[in-house]
């Protein structure tokens, strides 16, 4: 595994863990990554609580991590990884705001 594959893994898990914290705040828990993603989309994207752009960031991170971890012969470009890292930082910042608000 090259460094960019590892970077994409970490980008995804940064998003996954902050959404997991949000889910726990809302009394939801799942051991399946796809269930957490579905819960987030249903409760935060479709309802408009967060922007569709954030939903796209999470969905893309999920898909890219799947490719990175499970597909053979996948290569990534450093420019794309830098962009996706920045998107992850934006995503985490916005979800942290939700974590800090009272329900």
pLDDT, tens digit, 9 for 90 and up, residues 47-67: 999 999 999 999 999 999 988
- Given a contact cutoff of 8 angstroms between Cβ atoms, the answer to whether 62 and 55 are in contact is no
Question: Furthest-apart CA pair in the chain: how many Å?
Answer: 45
CATH class (in words) of the domain with range 3-100: mainly alpha
pLDDT category at 103 given cuts 50, 70, 90 is low
Quick one: pLDDT at residue 102? 80
* Model pTM score: 0.91
- Cα–Cα nearest to 44, from 23, 16, 17, 15: 23
Q: Domain coordinates of the chain in residue numbers?
A: 3-100
């Amino acid at each position: 595994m090259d460094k960019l594959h590892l970077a994409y893994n970490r980008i995804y898990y940064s998003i996954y863990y902050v959404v997991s914290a949000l889910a726990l705040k809302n009394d939801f828990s799942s051991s399946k990554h796809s269930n957490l993603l579905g819960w987030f989309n249903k409760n935060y994207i479709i309802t408009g609580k967060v922007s569709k752009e954030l939903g796209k960031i999470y969905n893309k991170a999920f898909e890219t991590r799947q490719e990175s971890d499970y597909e053979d012969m996948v290569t990534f470009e450093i420019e794309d990884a830098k962009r996706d890292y920045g998107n992850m930082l934006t995503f985490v910042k916005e979800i942290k705001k939700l974590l800090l608000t009272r329900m």
